[in-house]
């Protein structure tokens, strides 16, 4: 949860007039950090199915009880992501967690009313960053 709050905080401070790397770096860095955590989790739970179930139960029990202070933009972004996770059917939550960096970037881009071509390009970069980070852990 700490990385979720950090990611939201980094997105919240991006200037409204940001362009180029000033706009794209925070969400791609966040996706990379979250992707690395996903890769570590994948490696840890791939060894034993019983341990994997135990790990998933522990993680989701914790996440589903989390709250976020919505009085500031980072808290609202965190709360939105948590609500999306809570609304996700149980059997799809692991995949939703893996998409966290992309989901948070998408919500952030929507709140900024980003032009569609810029938004799509950004989300592609974010998705690639997360995927590459997950893959790096395997090697």
Per residue in 110-129, pLDDT tens? Answer: 999 999 999 999 999 999 99
Per residue in 22-78, pLDDT tens? Answer: 999 999 999 999 999 999 888 877 777 888 888 888 888 999 899 898 899 999 999
Contact (Cβ atoms closer than 8 angstroms) between residue 125 and residue 28: yes
Residue-range domain boundaries for the chain? 2-10+27-138
Helices (H), the chain: 2-12, 20-45, 49-63, 73-87, 93-98, 100-111, 116-138
- Scan for tokens 């589903």, then name that residue: 64
């Amino acid at each position: 949860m700490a990385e979720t709050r950090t990611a939201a905080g980094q997105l919240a401070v991006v200037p409204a007039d940001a362009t180029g790397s000033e706009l794209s770096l925070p969400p791609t860095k966040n996706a990379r950090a979250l992707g690395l955590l996903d890769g570590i989790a994948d490696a840890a739970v791939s060894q034993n199915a019983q341990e994997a179930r135990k790990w998933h139960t522990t993680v989701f029990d914790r996440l589903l009880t989390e709250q976020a202070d919505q009085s500031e933009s980072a808290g609202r972004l965190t709360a939105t992501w948590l609500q999306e996770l809570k609304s996700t059917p149980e059997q799809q939550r692991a995949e939703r967690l893996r998409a966290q960096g992309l989901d948070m970037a998408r919500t952030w881009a929507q709140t900024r009313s980003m032009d569609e071509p810029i938004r799509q390009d950004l989300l592609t970069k974010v998705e690639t960053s997360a995927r590459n980070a997950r893959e790096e852990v395997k090697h």
